[in-house]
């Protein structure tokens, strides 16, 4: 139950580019698939959860420092 509530809190409801409201089915698609095209401005919306963001930042720091 808490996991489902967490997903709704972190879900994207509007396009970050044009602020067009995403329909319910678009929000569901974005929760299943990481990418979605906005029907209004054709911006490619990318969804990353907090764990993916932290991992991405970590790998960027490692690349900058020369570690693998």
| CA dist., res. 37 & res. 50, Å (int) | 21
| CA dist., res. 54 & res. 38, Å (int) | 26
Question: What's the whole-model pTM score?
Answer: 0.56
Domain count along the chain: 1
Task: Give the 3-state secondary structure of residue 48.
Answer: coil
Other Cβ atoms closer than 10 A to 23:
11
List pLDDT tens digits, range 55-68: 666 677 777 777 55
| CA dist., res. 50 & res. 62, Å (int) | 19
List pLDDT tens digits, range 23-49: 999 999 998 988 999 999 999 999 887
Domain span including residue 20: 2-65
Is the per-residue pLDDT at 52 higher than 70? Answer: no
């Amino acid at each position: 139950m808490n996991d489902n509530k967490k997903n709704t809190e972190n879900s994207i409801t509007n396009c970050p580019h044009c602020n067009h409201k995403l329909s319910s089915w678009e929000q569901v698609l974005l929760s299943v698939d990481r990418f979605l095209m906005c029907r209004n401005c054709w911006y490619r919306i990318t969804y990353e959860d907090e764990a993916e963001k932290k991992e991405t930042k970590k790998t960027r720091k490692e690349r900058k420092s020369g570690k693998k």
